[in-house]
């Protein structure tokens, strides 16, 4: 009886997990030098990897259900190796999927064909060719709703993250089944938007731990909400635009108000190691207070995607302005200090 039960259970598992095949063709010489992989975008695990021996390769794998994955490939560039990825839907036992590399492979020039969801996505992009930008956003939103229960919906909702208001995007996200909402590309965006809402203009700043350059553990609350206006400049040692903004805007602003007890500038270094931050501070030597986000919490706490990210905080700790750049910084600082 136990043997029959084991055979039955094994048969059930084999029926639930289906195989897929991915054919890759016209691999350029630069790509053949490196492994080509199929990676799940749900858990970032490699499903199959192959070191090509010629211009064609075949990858295999098994899935319990349709999944949004990616084909990753690498090639040499000046000073290192670059890795690209191409999104693909693997339909767990449906049609074979093929990737054909083109001469533009360095910029993602890989043609995907086969599989119901891949074909559906291609049809969506083709239908958008003659639509205006606003109409395209509405069209993708409509297609996302129609595919909200499959991995194509995951892809389309992710694409819309930069085109929809946070409220509308979160509405789409909450319509998704729980298993699809767990895709990191969606979950991370949802967490970011919650952080944006928590730190929107008019709300109190969110506290977070930092280090001073001499290694002392402090919090933002040691500097904010203490009766003066504070300009927070989130930057990184490797960020050229951050240094440009500091040189052309923040430095003159500091010189103008360095003797004003109602205003200060604080730099928050993030997105790099503490060691590299300290090296940068030695070479740049900014005159205003610098703090190091050693736990890399800045982006999660304030919900920003790009640096420099600059905000103006009121004396009571409320956020007055987010995403300040260039002349806007001077405008708002001058306005509040003149008052």
pLDDT (0 to 100) of residue 23: 95
**In angstroms, rounded to a whole number, what is the distance separating the alpha carbons of residues 36 and 281?**
40
pLDDT (0 to 100) of residue 223: 97
Q: What percent of the chain has pLDDT over 90?
A: 78
Question: Average pLDDT for residues 235-254, to the nearest whole number?
Answer: 94
Q: Peptide bond before 8: cis, by omega within 30 degrees of 0?
A: no
Q: Which pTM was predicted? A: 0.79
pLDDT (0 to 100) of residue 41: 96
Arithmetic mean of pLDDT over the chain: 90
Per-position DSSP letters for 197-213, written without gaps between them: HHTSTTSBPPP-EEE-T
- The model's pLDDT over 173-208, given as tens digits with 9 standing for 90+, comes to 999 999 999 999 999 999 999 999 999 999 999 999
pLDDT (0 to 100) of residue 7: 42
Give me the half-sphere count of Cα atoms (radius 13 Å) on the Cβ side of residue 287.
12
Q: Which helix (H) or strand (E) holds 219?
A: strand 217-219
Q: Are 88 and 97 in contact (CB under 8 A)?
A: yes
Say whether pLDDT at 68 is over 90: yes
| Alpha-carbon distance values, 188 to 182, 231, 279, 303 (Å) | 9, 27, 31, 10
- The model's pLDDT over 2-14, given as tens digits with 9 standing for 90+, comes to 444 444 444 444 4
Say whether pLDDT at 246 is over 60: yes
**In angstroms, rounded to a whole number, what is the distance separating the alpha carbons of residues 100 and 6?**
42
**In angstroms, rounded to a whole number, what is the distance separating the alpha carbons of residues 251 and 245?**
9
Question: Average pLDDT for residues 321-325, to the nearest whole number?
Answer: 94
Task: Tell the burial category of 181 from Cβ atoms under 10 Å away from its Cβ (0-12, 13-18, 19+).
Answer: middle
- The model's pLDDT over 112-162, given as tens digits with 9 standing for 90+, comes to 999 899 999 999 999 999 898 889 999 999 999 999 999 999 999 999 998
Query: Worst-scoring range by mean pLDDT, 249-258, 269-278, 329-338?
Result: 269-278
**In angstroms, rounded to a whole number, what is the distance separating the alpha carbons of residues 276 and 246?**
18
- The model's pLDDT over 31-54, given as tens digits with 9 standing for 90+, comes to 999 999 999 999 999 999 999 999
pLDDT (0 to 100) of residue 92: 63
Pairing of strands 36-40, 67-77: antiparallel
Six-digit token string for 250: 């923040």
Taking alpha carbons only, the member of 151, 198, 197, 148 closest to residue 172 is 148
């Amino acid at each position: 009886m136990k043997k029959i039960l084991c055979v039955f259970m094994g048969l059930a598992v084999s029926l639930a997990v289906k195989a897929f095949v991915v054919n890759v063709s016209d691999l350029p010489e630069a790509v053949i030098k490196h492994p080509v992989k199929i990676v799940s975008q749900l858990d970032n695990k490699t499903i199959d990897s192959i070191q090509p021996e010629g211009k064609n390769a075949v990858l295999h794998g098994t899935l319990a259900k349709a999944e949004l994955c990616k084909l990753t490939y690498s090639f040499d560039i000046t000073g290192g190796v670059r890795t690209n990825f191409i999104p693909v839907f693997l339909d767990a036992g449906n049609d074979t999927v093929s990737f054909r590399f083109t001469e533009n492979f360095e910029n993602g020039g890989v043609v995907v064909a086969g599989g119901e969801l891949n074909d559906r996505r291609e049809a969506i992009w083709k239908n958008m060719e003659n639509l205006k930008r606003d109409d395209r956003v509405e069209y993708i939103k409509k297609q996302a709703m129609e595919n909200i229960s499959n991995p194509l919906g995951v892809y389309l909702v992710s694409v819309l993250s930069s085109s929809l208001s946070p409220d509308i995007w979160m509405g789409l996200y909450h319509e998704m089944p729980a298993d699809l909402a767990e895709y990191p590309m969606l979950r991370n965006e949802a967490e970011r938007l919650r952080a944006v809402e928590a730190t929107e203009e008019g709300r109190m700043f969110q506290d977070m731990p930092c280090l001073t350059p001499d290694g002392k553990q402090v919090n933002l609350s040691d500097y904010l909400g203490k009766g003066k206006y504070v300009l927070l400049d989130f930057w990184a040692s490797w960020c050229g635009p951050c240094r440009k903004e500091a040189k052309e805007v923040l430095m003159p602003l500091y010189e103008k108000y360095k003797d004003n007890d109602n205003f200060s500038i604080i730099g928050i270094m993030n997105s790099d190691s503490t060691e590299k931050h300290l090296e940068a501070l030695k070479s740049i030597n900014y005159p205003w207070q610098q703090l190091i986000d050693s736990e890399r919490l800045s982006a999660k706490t304030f919900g920003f995607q790009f640096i420099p990210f600059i905000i103006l905080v009121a004396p009571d700790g409320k956020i007055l302005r987010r995403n300040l750049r260039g002349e806007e910084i001077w405008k708002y600082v001058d306005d509040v200090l003149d008052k």
